[in-house]
C-alpha cells in the first residue's frame, strides 16, 4: 500500500478502482479467481492507488481471493466492501485488508423502502461500524449510498458523525446516476464547505455522465475518483478508469503518474473476462478511436497526427489505422499502396478510388488490404486487356 500512503501524504488526487467489486456486480458478470488476481496486478502495475477487491462477508472464493491478493503486498491499497455492520467488517479483518468501505443508504427513499428503518438507525449503525473499524486501525471510506438523492442537511450530519467516529473520507455515491456536472459541482462544493471531509466520487453512467460528474466533483474539491475498467458496473456502469486518467492528463493537466500505455491491454483483458466487448467508439480504447477513413481526416493525420488526434495511439497501447472505405481519398489510397511497395500515379489512384467506392457501397463495409490488392489486380487486368488507344465504351 506504499503508493497509497505516499499519495495520501502528498495530497494528490487518487484513483480508487472498483472493477472487482462494482464491476463484478454488473448483471451477468463473474470473474474467476485467476482473472481477479490478474486484473488486480495489472491495476497495481499501471499505478492505481486503491483497489476495491470485493465483499469478504460473501465468503467462499470471494473471501479467499481477497486474502490471496493481500498476500501479494502490492503498492496499491486493498480495500474491502462492507455493509454498516460489525459482522461484515470482521470478515474484512480476516482478509488482512488495509482499508474498508462501509456502506449504508442516506436517502429517504432508500431508508424508507429498502432499509425500512429510520435516519436515526442509519446514523447509529454507521457510527457503530465505523468506530469498530477505526479501533482496528483500518483506513475507512464511509459510503453514503444514494447520496445524490439525499437531503443535504442529513448528508452533512451523516458525514460529520462519520468523521467524528473515525472515518477518513466520505464516498459520495450517485448510485442511480441522476446527477449532471453542474449539480455535482454545487453539491460537492457545499459538502466540503460544511464538513471539511475528504470526498470520494462514485458516479454511475445512467445518463452517460459518470466520467463528467466525477471530474466535476474533483473540480469542486473531491480528491478520490471511483472508477472501473471499461466503465463496467451496475446497469450503465461507472466512470471509466481510462477516461478519467486520460481526461485528467490532457484536459485538466493533472498527472497521476499512471502508466497509460497498458490501458488497451488492461481493457481488453477485462472485456474478455467480463464477456463484454469494447464497442468501436468507446472513448480512449475503442478500436475506432484511431481509425481514420474520410479523405480529409486521413490526409490531415498522415501529414500531422495532431490535426485529428488529441494524443498518440501509442499512449494508450493502440495503433493508428487508415481505413479504406467509401469516404477515403486518393492520398490514403496512395499511402496504402506504398505500404505494399506500389507507387501509384495520380491517375491510377483516382481510378482505384472509384472502384473502391463502388465495392464498399456494394459490400456496406470498409475493405481489407487484401481486397484492395484484388481491386488493383482487376484494374491492371482491365488496363492490359484494353489497348491504351481503345475506347472502353465499345468493349
Q: Do 375 and 359 meet the contact criterion of CB atoms below 8 Å apart?
A: yes
By CB under 5 A, the count of residues binding Mn ion is 1
Longest dimension (CA), the chain: 95
Q: Considering beta carbons, is residue 22 or 52 the nearer one to Mn ion?
A: 22
Collapse the DSSP code of 139 into the 3-class scheme (helix H, G, I; strand E, B; otherwise coil) and give the result: strand
Q: Considering beta carbons, is residue 141 or 260 the nearer one to Mn ion?
A: 141
Question: Segment near Mn ion (CB under 5 A), from 20-28, 45-53, 256-264, 326-334?
Answer: 20-28
Tell me the three cell numbers of residue 16.
480508487
Strands 291-292 and 14-17: unpaired
Q: Considering beta carbons, is residue 158 or 172 the nearer one to Mn ion?
A: 172
CB closest to Mn ion, residue no: 22
Question: Segment near Mn ion (CB under 5 A), from 4-12, 15-23, 285-293, 321-329?
Answer: 15-23
Smallest CA-to-CA distance from 23 within 224, 226, 208 is with 226
User: What does the DSSP 8-state code read for residue 48?
Assistant: -
Least separation in angstroms between residue 131's CB and Mn ion is 25
Q: Considering beta carbons, is residue 16 or 129 the nearer one to Mn ion?
A: 16
Q: Considering beta carbons, is residue 93 or 178 the nearer one to Mn ion?
A: 178
Least separation in angstroms between residue 151's CB and Mn ion is 20
Least separation in angstroms between residue 213's CB and Mn ion is 13
Least separation in angstroms between residue 22's CB and Mn ion is 4
Q: Considering beta carbons, is residue 22 or 243 the nearer one to Mn ion?
A: 22
Q: Considering beta carbons, is residue 174 or 351 the nearer one to Mn ion?
A: 174
Question: Segment near Mn ion (CB under 5 A), from 7-15, 16-24, 118-126, 179-187?
Answer: 16-24
Q: Considering beta carbons, is residue 203 or 366 the nearer one to Mn ion?
A: 203
Element (H, E) at 77: strand 77-83
Instruction: Label residues 120-131 b or e (16+ Cβ within 10 Å = b).
Output: eebbebbbebbe
Least separation in angstroms between residue 145's CB and Mn ion is 8
Q: Do 206 and 177 meet the contact criterion of CB atoms below 8 Å apart?
A: yes
Element (H, E) at 306: none
Collapse the DSSP code of 393 into the 3-class scheme (helix H, G, I; strand E, B; otherwise coil) and give the result: helix
Least separation in angstroms between residue 266's CB and Mn ion is 20
Q: What are the φ/ψ torsions at residue 100 (nearest 5 degrees)? A: -135, 145
279 CB-contact burial (10 Å; exposed 0-12 / middle 13-18 / buried 19+): exposed
Least separation in angstroms between residue 204's CB and Mn ion is 6
Q: Do 322 and 311 meet the contact criterion of CB atoms below 8 Å apart?
A: no
Question: Segment near Mn ion (CB under 5 A), from 19-27, 145-153, 269-277, 315-323?
Answer: 19-27
Element (H, E) at 101: strand 99-105
Least separation in angstroms between residue 11's CB and Mn ion is 26
Bridge partners for 295 per DSSP? none
Q: Considering beta carbons, is residue 206 or 315 the nearer one to Mn ion?
A: 206
In the list 20, 21, 22, 359, the residue contacting Mn ion (rule: CB under 5 A) is 22
Least separation in angstroms between residue 184's CB and Mn ion is 15
Least separation in angstroms between residue 202's CB and Mn ion is 6
Placement of cell 429517504 in the chain: 108
Collapse the DSSP code of 80 into the 3-class scheme (helix H, G, I; strand E, B; otherwise coil) and give the result: strand
Smallest CA-to-CA distance from 260 within 281, 246, 278 is with 246
Residue 169 falls in which region: left (phi positive, over 0), alpha (psi -120 to 50) or beta = beta
Compute how many other C-beta atoms are within 10 angstroms of the C-beta atom of residue 387.
8
Q: Do 323 and 288 meet the contact criterion of CB atoms below 8 Å apart?
A: no
Q: Write the CB contacts of 317 (distance below 8 Å, at least 6 apart in sequence).
A: 260, 261, 262, 263, 264, 265, 285
Bridge partners for 139 per DSSP? 99
Site for Mn ion in 265-294 (CB under 5 A): none
Question: Segment near Mn ion (CB under 5 A), from 21-29, 40-48, 211-219, 284-292?
Answer: 21-29
Q: Considering beta carbons, is residue 22 or 35 the nearer one to Mn ion?
A: 22
Question: Segment near Mn ion (CB under 5 A), from 22-30, 85-93, 301-309, 327-335?
Answer: 22-30
Check binding of 200 to Mn ion (CB under 5 A).
no
Least separation in angstroms between residue 238's CB and Mn ion is 6
Question: Segment near Mn ion (CB under 5 A), from 14-22, 31-39, 80-88, 93-101?
Answer: 14-22
Residues that bind Mn ion (CB under 5 A): 22
Amino acid at each position: 500500500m506504499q503508493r497509497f500512503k505516499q499519495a495520501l501524504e502528498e495530497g494528490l488526487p487518487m484513483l480508487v478502482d472498483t472493477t472487482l467489486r462494482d464491476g463484478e456486480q454488473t448483471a451477468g458478470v463473474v470473474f474467476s479467481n485467476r482473472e481477479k488476481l490478474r486484473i488486480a496486478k495489472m491495476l497495481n502495475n499501471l499505478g492505481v492507488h486503491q483497489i476495491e477487491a470485493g465483499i469478504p462477508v460473501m465468503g467462499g472464493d470471494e473471501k479467499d481471493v481477497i486474502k490471496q491478493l493481500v498476500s501479494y503486498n502490492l503498492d496499491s491499497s486493498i480495500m474491502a466492501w462492507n455493509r454498516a455492520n460489525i459482522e461484515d467488517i470482521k470478515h474484512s479483518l480476516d482478509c488482512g485488508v488495509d482499508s474498508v468501505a462501509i456502506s449504508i443508504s442516506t436517502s429517504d427513499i432508500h431508508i424508507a423502502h429498502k432499509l425500512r428503518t429510520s435516519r436515526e438507525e442509519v446514523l447509529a449503525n454507521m457510527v457503530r461500524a465505523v468506530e469498530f473499524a477505526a479501533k482496528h486501525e483500518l483506513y475507512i471510506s464511509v459510503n453514503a449510498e444514494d447520496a445524490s438523492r439525499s437531503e443535504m442537511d442529513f448528508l452533512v450530519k451523516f458525514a460529520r458523525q462519520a468523521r467524528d467516529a473515525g472515518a477518513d473520507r466520505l464516498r459520495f455515491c450517485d448510485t442511480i446516476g441522476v446527477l449532471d456536472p453542474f449539480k455535482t459541482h454545487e453539491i460537492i462544493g457545499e459538502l466540503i464547505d460544511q464538513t471539511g471531509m475528504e470526498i470520494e466520487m462514485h458516479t454511475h453512467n445512467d445518463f452517460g455522465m459518470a466520467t463528467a460528474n466525477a471530474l466535476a466533483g474533483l473540480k469542486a474539491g473531491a480528491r478520490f475518483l471511483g472508477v472501473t475498467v471499461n466503465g463496467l458496473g451496475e446497469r450503465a456502469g461507472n466512470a471509466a478508469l481510462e477516461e478519467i486518467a486520460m481526461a485528467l492528463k490532457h484536459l485538466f493537466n493533472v498527472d497521476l503518474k499512471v502508466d497509460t500505455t497498458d490501458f488497451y491491454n488492461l481493457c481488453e483483458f477485462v472485456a474478455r473476462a467480463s464477456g463484454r466487448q469494447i464497442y468501436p467508439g468507446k472513448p480512449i480504447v475503442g478500436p475506432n478511436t484511431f481509425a481514420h477513413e474520410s479523405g480529409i481526416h486521413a490526409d490531415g493525420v498522415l501529414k500531422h497526427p495532431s490535426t485529428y488526434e488529441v494524443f498518440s495511439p501509442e499512449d494508450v497501447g493502440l495503433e493508428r489505422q487508415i481505413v479504406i472505405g467509401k469516404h477515403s481519398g486518393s492520398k490514403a489510397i496512395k499511402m496504402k499502396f506504398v505500404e505494399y511497395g506500389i507507387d501509384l500515379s495520380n491517375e491510377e489512384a483516382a481510378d482505384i478510388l472509384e472502384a473502391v467506392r463502388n465495392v464498399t457501397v456494394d459490400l456496406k463495409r470498409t475493405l481489407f488490404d487484401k481486397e484492395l490488392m484484388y481491386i488493383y489486380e482487376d484494374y491492371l487486368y482491365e488496363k492490359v486487356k484494353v489497348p491504351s488507344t481503345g475506347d472502353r465504351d465499345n468493349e
